[in-house]
């Protein structure tokens, strides 16, 4: 099984925008995209050439692939499945990617990032329809029930991800009521 083990922030810098691969770090001023807004590598600051139409398409594909943490072959397989289904291929592809278990765990707030969601799933902390599922690419259907195993409810990662926003919303209400 292949997976990306290099620095995640390098991917964000390559795409020149935040992909939110590091969880909460992406919301702080320590985010490398904020500090160095140029691509990584020896020629990152010096290259300012116009990108071709193919280059624009490639950057979009790479951005989506990196956001969901997929390898090239896996992404290609999702594309081919989306191509066979009826409807707009692009929308179908995004729907399939959003239905992956690791993405849903991230979207529900059980994990601070998709990588952390993958780790929770692989370690067997989650159940789908009362069965332990340890495959991050498991495709969910409408009506599936996702829950945290009883033994895993004590994990700090889950509790810290599910904490509410640390802000006083009453001050915002007072500001706008003036």
pLDDT in tens, the chain (178 residues): 566 666 666 666 667 676 666 666 666 676 766 666 667 766 566 666 777 888 778 888 888 888 888 888 998 999 889 889 998 888 888 899 999 999 999 888 888 888 888 999 999 999 999 999 999 999 999 999 999 998 888 888 777 776 665 556 666 666 665 6
pLDDT of residue 67: 84
Q: How many domains does the chain have?
A: 2
Is residue 10, in this structure, part of any structural domain at all?
Answer: yes
pLDDT of residue 146: 92
Is residue 8, in this structure, part of any structural domain at all?
Answer: yes
Is residue 25, in this structure, part of any structural domain at all?
Answer: yes
Domain containing 22 — which CATH number?
1.10.1050.10
Domain containing 156 — which CATH number?
3.10.290.10
pLDDT of residue 121: 94
**Residue by residue, what is the 3-state secondary structure of the chain?**
CCCCCCCHHHHHHHHCCCCCCCHHHHHCCCCHHHHCCCCCCCCCCCCCCCCCHHHHHHHHHHHHHHHHCCCHHHHHHHHHHHHHCCCCHHHHHHHHHHCEHHHHHHHHCCCCCHHHHHHHHHCCCEEECCEECCCCCCECCCCCCEEECHHHCCCHHHHHHHCCCCCCHHHHHHHHCC
pTM of the model: 0.72
Is residue 129, in this structure, part of any structural domain at all?
Answer: yes
Is residue 81, in this structure, part of any structural domain at all?
Answer: no
Is residue 80, in this structure, part of any structural domain at all?
Answer: no
Domain assignment of residue 16, given as a range: 1-49
Is residue 60, in this structure, part of any structural domain at all?
Answer: no
Of 12, 32, 49, which residue is a domain's last?
A: 49
pLDDT of residue 25: 64
Is residue 64, in this structure, part of any structural domain at all?
Answer: no
Of 29, 49, 69, which residue is a domain's last?
A: 49
Computed on alpha carbons and rounded to an integer, the radius of gyration of the chain in Å comes to 19
Please give the span between the terminal C-alpha atoms of the chain, in angstroms, as a whole number: 57
pLDDT of residue 50: 78
């Amino acid at each position: 099984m292949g997976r990306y083990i290099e620095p995640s922030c390098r991917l964000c810098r390559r795409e020149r925008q935040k992909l939110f691969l590091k969880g909460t770090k992406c919301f702080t001023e320590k985010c490398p995209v904020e500090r160095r807004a140029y691509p990584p590598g020896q020629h990152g600051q010096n290259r300012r050439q116009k990108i071709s139409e193919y280059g624009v398409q490639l950057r979009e594909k790479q951005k989506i692939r990196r956001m969901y943490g997929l390898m090239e072959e896996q992404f290609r397989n999702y594309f081919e499945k989306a191509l066979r289904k009826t409807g707009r291929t692009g929308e179908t592809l995004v729907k399939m990617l959003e239905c992956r278990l690791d993405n849903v765990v991230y979207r529900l707030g059980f994990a601070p990032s998709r990588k952390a969601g993958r780790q929770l799933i692989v370690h067997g902390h989650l159940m789908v329809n009362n069965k332990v599922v340890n495959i991050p690419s498991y495709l969910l259907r409408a009506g599936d029930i996702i829950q945290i195993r009883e033994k895993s409810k004590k994990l700090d990662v889950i509790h810290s991800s599910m904490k509410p926003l640390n802000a006083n919303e009453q001050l915002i209400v007072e500001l706008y009521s003036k």
